[in-house]
Amino acid sequence: MRFAAWYLAAFSASAVTFASGTVVAAPPWVDRHLTLPDANWAFDVGLGVGHLPRDPAPDISGAGVNAEMAVGVTERVELGVRTGIRFGDPLGRAIRADEYGRLFDRQTFGTGAEVLANPELRVRGAPVRGRVVELALEGRVVLPFEDGTQAAVLFGLPLAFHLGDRVRLDTGAYVPVVFARPAYFDIRLPLDVWIQVSRRVWLGPMTGVVLERPGDTGSHTLASLGFGFGYEITHYLDFKAMVLFPVSDEPRLFGGGAGIQIRIE
């Protein structure tokens, strides 16, 4: 836990240090691109809370913090890294509530139940950037520092539709591959509908389908439904929040999170 506290302190200090540079006025959320502008930085910190009903056994709840940063290498290439810190006993940490602090990005994979989550490295490039349609190529790598985890990679095709100055659809296809024995993969199809209510406020439903281990005997399909909210506090600081629920006949894990993003040129 001392290491976790040190990590958060170091992350916050880095954000403050970079903040001494020039801040940048971000466009409205529905007009933002899939990658950061050249030489721009983004620092995200989010608190997540998860709950697992287990009637007749006692319910399990957990909390965690997500911390990540990203930089625009060019106008269309972005690099990022993130990890999480989980609190509580082993059962509470197994909820992996830090995932609910990964606001608006639900593509988490290859993590375990330790205090410090496996770090994830990301690269994203946007070869197609039209007035309405944006398409990116994305790759992620998870380093297996947690006990009982394996190395994992993800291949993604993020897709955004900018429908005028009020609506944006975020979707795409993501395939995480975990190098267990034997290796397995999922297929993830998210869909978020963002509505720009005002210059500073955006909100909308978040949903998606996950095909877990397609082709295996234990394969099954999961669906989720949630809601996201964002507010541009200043031209360099955003507040974000979301709640996510499974779509299932049986009680399953649900939760929510809130946090901030600092953007720096």
Element (H, E) at 6: helix 2-18
- 2-264, which class in CATH? mainly beta
pLDDT in tens, 135-193: 999 999 999 999 999 999 999 999 999 999 999 999 999 999 999 989 999 999 999 99
> Where do the domains of the chain lie?
2-264
Three-state DSSP state, 61? strand
Cβ proximity of 184 and 178 under 8 Å: yes
Q: Inform me whether the pLDDT recorded for 1 exceeds 90.
A: no
- The whole-number pLDDT of residue 215 equals 80
- The whole-number pLDDT of residue 203 equals 98
pLDDT, the chain, mean: 91
What percent of the chain shows pLDDT beyond 90?
81
* Burial of 37 per CB tally in 10 Å (0-12, 13-18, 19+): middle
Q: Inform me whether the pLDDT recorded for 19 exceeds 50.
A: no
- The whole-number pLDDT of residue 6 equals 54
Q: Inform me whether the pLDDT recorded for 128 exceeds 80.
A: yes
Smallest Cα–Cα separation from 144: which of 108, 111, 175, 97?
111
The pTM (predicted TM-score) of the whole model is 0.88
Cβ proximity of 140 and 121 under 8 Å: yes
Give the whole-angstrom CA distance, residue 139 versus residue 158: 11
- The whole-number pLDDT of residue 265 equals 84
Give the whole-angstrom CA distance, residue 231 versus residue 144: 35
Residue whose token pair is 């006949």: 249
Smallest Cα–Cα separation from 188: which of 216, 217, 214?
214
* Burial of 147 per CB tally in 10 Å (0-12, 13-18, 19+): exposed
| Mean pLDDT, residues 53-72 taken together | 94
Give the whole-angstrom CA distance, residue 232 versus residue 24: 12
Element (H, E) at 5: helix 2-18
SS (H, E, C) 139-194: EEEECCCCCCCCCEEEEEEEEEEEECCCEEEEEEEEEEEECCCCCEEEEEEEEEEE
